[in-house]
Amino acid sequence: MLYMPFDPLYVYLVLPAILFAMLAQFMVSGSFKKYSKQLTSKRITGAEAAREVLRYAGVSDVRIERVRGNLTDHFDPRSNVIRLSDSVFDAPTVAAVGVAAHEAGHAIQYAVSYAPIKIRMAILPVTSIGSKLAMPLAIFGFAFELTGLINLAILLFGAVVVFQLITLPVEFNASGRAVEALRDTKLLTFEELPGSKKVLTAAALTYVGALAVSLMQLLRFVLLARRRR
């Protein structure tokens, strides 16, 4: 049977990162649920907010569509479409407006050729492969003491970490653009804006958590490999 050798490093490094990532996910779910109960005073929906944020930035060629699921909101640069979930698209809530404005922020990043998002797209093919193969290669390499496979797994996992590291400024910048637009266009009142900020901050922490897990797992692999030598 193939296995990864148990090591206290997993408990000391990886497990705390996993717990932090779980906490971040719990926070974003809790924040979204809380501010989904707060209606916007102007009764503006998520889809309407996304359109207004795009208009504020001078971006006019992006479509806005509904997508199934909960918190499945995203911007698809290939088709130039913002897809908003059922709980965001036509919901006139502080949470929905914040999430929709954030996705509009991503569309604006592409429109203005924001450097980090271009870099992230450029390395996406490598990281897609790395995210699928790194762990199986590591398990196989450590099980059969194949140094070449172990090194390849570390390299692929490193690419994933780089991708997630670049993702952080992309996400924070999109949120910053969203908050600025919501404030300047007065889509949300002074009292409502902090609620959207809290939802977006909690969402950003999930990316920090994902990076922490990958980084600690990479560090564990490196230390295990050095121990073998």
Task: Report whether pLDDT(3) > 50.
Answer: no
Average pLDDT, the chain: 94
pLDDT 10s digits, 169-218: 999 999 999 999 999 999 999 999 999 999 999 999 999 999 999 999 99
Global pTM value:
0.91
Task: Report whether pLDDT(4) > 70.
Answer: no
Burial of 24 (C-beta count, 10 Å sphere; 0-12/13-18/19+): buried
Q: Are 46 and 88 in contact (CB under 8 A)?
A: yes
Rounded alpha-carbon distances, angstroms, from residue 154 to 145, 150, 160, 208, 225: 14, 6, 10, 20, 9
Task: Report whether pLDDT(1) > 70.
Answer: no
- Among 113, 121, 125, 187, smallest CA distance to 156 is for 125
- Joined together, the tokens standing for residue 52 give 């207004």
pLDDT bracket for residue 6 (50, 70, 90): low
The strand pairing partners of 85, in sequence order, are: 67
pLDDT 10s digits, 136-177: 999 899 888 899 999 999 999 999 999 999 999 999 999 999
Task: Report whether pLDDT(2) > 50.
Answer: no
pLDDT bracket for residue 9 (50, 70, 90): confident
pLDDT 10s digits, 106-131: 999 999 999 999 999 999 998 999 89
Dist CA 177 CA 33 (whole Å): 23
CB-CB neighbours of 77 under 10 Å: 15
- Among 167, 79, 153, smallest CA distance to 123 is for 167
Catalytic one of 48, 52, 65, 103: 103
Q: Are 115 and 69 in contact (CB under 8 A)?
A: no
- Joined together, the tokens standing for residue 139 give 């398990």
pLDDT 10s digits, 23-38: 999 999 999 999 999 9
Residue 52 is a catalytic residue? no
